[in-house]
Amino acid sequence: MIVRVKVPQGVKVSGTLTKPGEHKMLGNKPAFILNVEAASEKRDGRWENYYVDVKIWGEHPEMEDMYQKGDYIEAEGREIEDRPGKNGTVYHSLTAKDVKPGGLVILRWMQQAIDAMLSASPQEPPMMTETDEETPFDAPAPQPVQASMDEYTRDEELERQLDATEEDDLPF
């Protein structure tokens, strides 16, 4: 018996992968296949495992190395198709609309991304060359210093005020 959880879109199958996902040509259409051990059940003192082939139609190169043996996944699809095989074996398959990885799978992906970033060769800093333009590293240019009022005499102050107010500026 396969655990078939009804969802609005159909059924959900969850379990661990028995081998890494692989690309196959089914007829003339490409598909990505995940072999899922969906359930284990003890019957007559023996454990019986139920396997479901989860098919994702189309080419999915991004999934090539993402799923490994033992990864937990959940797949949703319309219905599980059963077909008889050799020696009375029944093969189960699901055409998936959605496949979700388990939490540990996501953590492994995150660690792989971190490792890839850390192992990337660091870039050498750019070489510094001399330039005639101003740069933030140049010594600051001398700033003009404002004279204080104490430096002026009273006469100079009056002259400055008279120069500032010319006849053209007067309102009358």
The CATH number for 23's domain is 2.40.50.140
Handedness of CA 60, 37, 20, 27 (dihedral sign): negative
Residue 72 has pLDDT above 90, yes or no: yes
For residue 123, is it within any domain? no
Q: What percent of the chain has pLDDT over 90?
A: 18
Distance from C-alpha of 14 to C-alpha of 49, rounded to nearest angstrom = 13
Q: What are phi and psi of 87, to 5 degrees?
A: 55, 35
Residue 134 has pLDDT above 90, yes or no: no
Residue 1 has pLDDT above 50, yes or no: no
Question: Of 143 and 164, which is predicted with more confidence?
Answer: 143
Residues paired with 100 in a beta bridge: 74
For residue 110, is it within any domain? yes
pTM of the predicted model over 0.85? no
For residue 145, is it within any domain? no
For residue 160, is it within any domain? no
The confidence band for 165, taking pLDDT boundaries of 50, 70 and 90, is low
Residues spanned by the domain of 90: 5-118
